[in-house]
Structure 1
């Protein structure tokens, strides 16, 4: 009896032991109980008890057996990734992308559709329908999702989750999007600015993994920036840090017409690029995709339009460099991920700043916000379920 009591743990001690086991399996799995004991310093009896409980509860599963070592083979264990599922939604001006991910950040189902142009509460219905469709594809049900991370354009109030400025999506600033969506789904909903999510996606598994100071610039229908400063997301006093659409570049900063979409966005967004192309005499492109095709075919008007867009973007990046001193600027979005534009920006940068930051194209292309949402969802699941912060693993 005395021997049995010596390994009985208090609830707090068991929580600490469980945390240590999960942390070790996340960082090193598949892994045997003996190796977990070596890495954690916990007794073999404690490890056996914790692993058994985690397996019974569905969080760990056998992965195989050790081999090539002296003595008997031992069972190795890994996280049962399907035991925790969450969703990430990227609300765009024209399209919505959504995924269901598991505990390890694997995407198990994905969908991409046109955004409901009516906006407002119609978006709640669309999100709900999309998640039901995704759950079916993932062979699960929406009630098994633990949370949803929603990336949205606009200025987000970090305290309330309210979207204050989103000129390209009607009615979204007139509703409590987070509360309505959470009530509809019956689960926690995290709302974040889409470009902030993209920056966090790069920090999670992109170019920013090893960097504590970088900026993510999204160039597409709209323009935005997410900032990682000293390892953390920089929000600003009102949640509007990085709203570079309003930089006084590319137009008359005193024209109040630029107060809605922003002076810089009006100069380099997709509509501006097409307007510039037409102004230079172009007649063969009605979309930005057409414009890049014309550029690659050597059409003079297309080359001029993209060069001028790159020149203005370089000025903005020079201003960002002078203000934030980032180690690098990662460019993404439907336009920003195009190497034709980024190559031109790289050529212009040394001509407008003595210290041009390194420029990288997002590893995720126009899926950076979506992947940022996955990263946030996975971290929240690990924290809620196991008390483990991903960044500590």
Structure 2
């Protein structure tokens, strides 16, 4: 139970505390909350009645008390305030609607529009409408949302930058535009940051004070969690490890677009290394991984060199952040053939190697991260907004 012993100055404050307690616990009782808060049972009964009438909580049973007494047990009503999340990639949008506890109620996937920011904003609105229809609720029930983007969001300028895979998005004031279109508060962050948040909430980052999530696919990116918070940097670009001066000439201006490390370990680099060493031409990265199992020594040597470069990058990260754990993800980063080699190299270049694990959430990490971010936003809103005015048709 999270409600500390204290006297609240208004009924709204008490209501907020009860809702927060219900968000964080499976069940709550007014008798227990009255005891923890020091408020009278009558006051707490009035508060619970108001919240029940407003649809925030509902009775789910009774629990036995002393001398045969029983107390009503409440849960958060699942559809009173819905949460929206969208994990946006260069090729597809994976969106979901969840209840206030974060339980996913419906989800969908569709191709990412390449028709510019105006079309993108409308696409997100249509995702909200479609998901709300799936769960049989009005869009007005959505109280908060979050979107992960393959780029960086500058919170000072309120604009996106470094978005190479979606047309017309650089310079887009995405957060302000989405909030205007959607009619509810929304947060935007880098997709890998969102994935790191998902790992912290439901994956390999649970109960880990400091860890990093490294995603390797077409490119490479990193989300940083320190003391339970995402570190974004002054411009929202913290974790852009593709630009680490590793694996290539840092003074080569051709690296400014993607970065030296990405040119060394991304999917294009893996294919180029393999073909350059005499491997068969035209294979995909997946084909190259599969070739290792067939005894292809060029494929094995290619992956070993990529793992060595990644290990050097991880050691550089450790020198600055000192993470307890490295969580690997992405279509390439989650492959055990690569991670096993990375684990081999890390202790060879640092006396204090961090634990290196593969994400258990897989490609759902980013989506779950956006739901977690939406949930955090709802909690913030409860501190400033009257509960009766939130998520109402």
Structures share fold, TM-score greater than 0.5: yes
Q: 1:25 to 1:69 in 2, by over 3 A?
A: farther
- Equivalent in the alignment of 1:273: 270
1:321, distance to aligned residue in structure 2 (A): 0.8
**Does the C-alpha gap of structure 1 residues 294 and 128 become closer, same or farther in structure 2, counting only changes over 3 Å?**
farther
For 1:288 and 1:39, the matched residues in 2 are separated by: 57
Which of 175, 192, 195 is residue 195 of structure 1 equivalent to? 192
Q: Is 1:327–1:357's contact at 8 Å kept on the other side of the alignment?
A: yes
Deviation of 1:40 (Å): 2.7
CA deviation digits over 1:29-82, x for unaligned, max 9?
423322222233321111111111110000001112225875144321111122
Aligned equivalent of 1:377: 374
- After TM superposition, the structure 1 stretch with the greater mean CA deviation from structure 2, 251-260 or 274-283, is 274-283
2:62 paired residue number: 65
SS of structure 2 residue aligned to 1:353: coil
Q: Equivalent residue for 2:119?
A: 122
Match for residue 95 of structure 1 among 83, 92, 96: 92
Tell me by how many angstroms 1:256 deviates: 0.7
Equivalent of residue 308 in structure 1, options 305, 308, 313: 305
Q: Which of 6, 9, 19 is residue 12 of structure 1 equivalent to?
A: 9
Identify which of 168, 171, 175 aligns with 2:172: 175
Counterpart of 1:240 in structure 2 is 237
SS at match of 1:261: coil
Select 1:318's aligned residue among 294, 306, 315.
315
Quick one: which of 146, 152, 156 aligns to 1:149? 146
| Stretch of structure 1 that moved more, 302-311 or 92-101 | 302-311
The correspondence of residues 294-373 of structure 1 with structure 2, limited to 5 A, is 294-373=291-370
For residues 181 and 289 of structure 1, the distance between their equivalents in structure 2, rounded to whole angstroms, comes to 36
- Cα pair distance change 1:285/1:91, threshold 3 Å: same
Going from structure 1 to structure 2, the CA distance change for 1:141 and 1:276 (only over 3 Å counts) comes to: farther
State the match for 2:101 in structure 1. Answer: 104
Using a 3 Å threshold, how does the CA distance of structure 1 residues 81 and 309 change in structure 2: closer, same or farther? Answer: same
CA gap of 1:31–1:363, structure 2 versus 1, over 3 A, is same
3-state DSSP of counterpart to 1:336: coil
Whether 1:113 and 2:110 are equivalent positions in the alignment is yes
Gaps of 5+ in 2: 1-6, 386-393
Mapped partners of 2:220, 2:64: distance in 1? 53
- Offset at 1:258? 0.6
Q: What residue is the counterpart of 1:4 in the other structure?
A: none
Q: Which moved more, 1:129-138 or 1:217-226?
A: 129-138
Q: Give, in whole Å, the separation in 2 of the partners of 1:335 and 1:262.
A: 18
TM-score (norm 1): 0.88
Determine the C-alpha separation between the residues in 1 that align with 2:115 and 2:46. 55
- The structure showing larger relative contact order (alpha-carbon pairs under 8 Å, at least 6 residues apart) is 2
Q: Is 2:178–2:186's contact at 8 Å kept on the other side of the alignment? A: yes
Contact preservation (8 Å) 1:248, 1:263:
yes
Aligned equivalents of 1:29 and 1:52: distance in 2? Answer: 19
In structure 2, the CA distance between the partners of 1:134 and 1:264, relative to structure 1 (3 Å rule), is: same
Separation (CA, whole Å) in 1 of partners of 2:189 and 2:20: 27
How far residue 199 of structure 1 moved from its aligned partner, in angstroms, is 2.1
Cα distance in 1 for residues equivalent to 2:193 and 2:325: 16
- Pair 1:79 & 2:76 matched: yes
State the 1:257 CA deviation: 0.5
* Structure 1, unaligned runs of 5 or more: 1-9, 389-393
Distance, in Å, in 2 between the alignment partners of 1:285 and 1:298 is: 18
Moved over 4 A (4+): 67-70
Structure holding more helix per residue? 1
Range that drifts further, 313-322 or 58-67? 58-67
Q: Is the 8 A contact 1:161 1:191 kept in 2?
A: no
| 1:204 is aligned to 2:201 | yes
Q: Tell me: CA distance 1:327–1:201, structure 2 relative to 1, closer, same or farther (3 Å).
A: same
Kept in 2: contact 1:24–1:40 (CA 8 A): no
Q: Are the structure 2 counterparts of residues 178 and 21 from structure 1 closer, same or farther at C-alpha, using a change threshold of 3 Å? A: closer
Count of residue correspondences: 379
CA distance in 2, matches of 1:247, 1:376: 28
Given that 2:156 and 2:235 are in contact with CA atoms closer than 8 Å, whether structure 1 keeps it comes out as: no
Distance 2:206 2:237 in 1: 24
Return the TM-score normalized by structure 2: 0.88
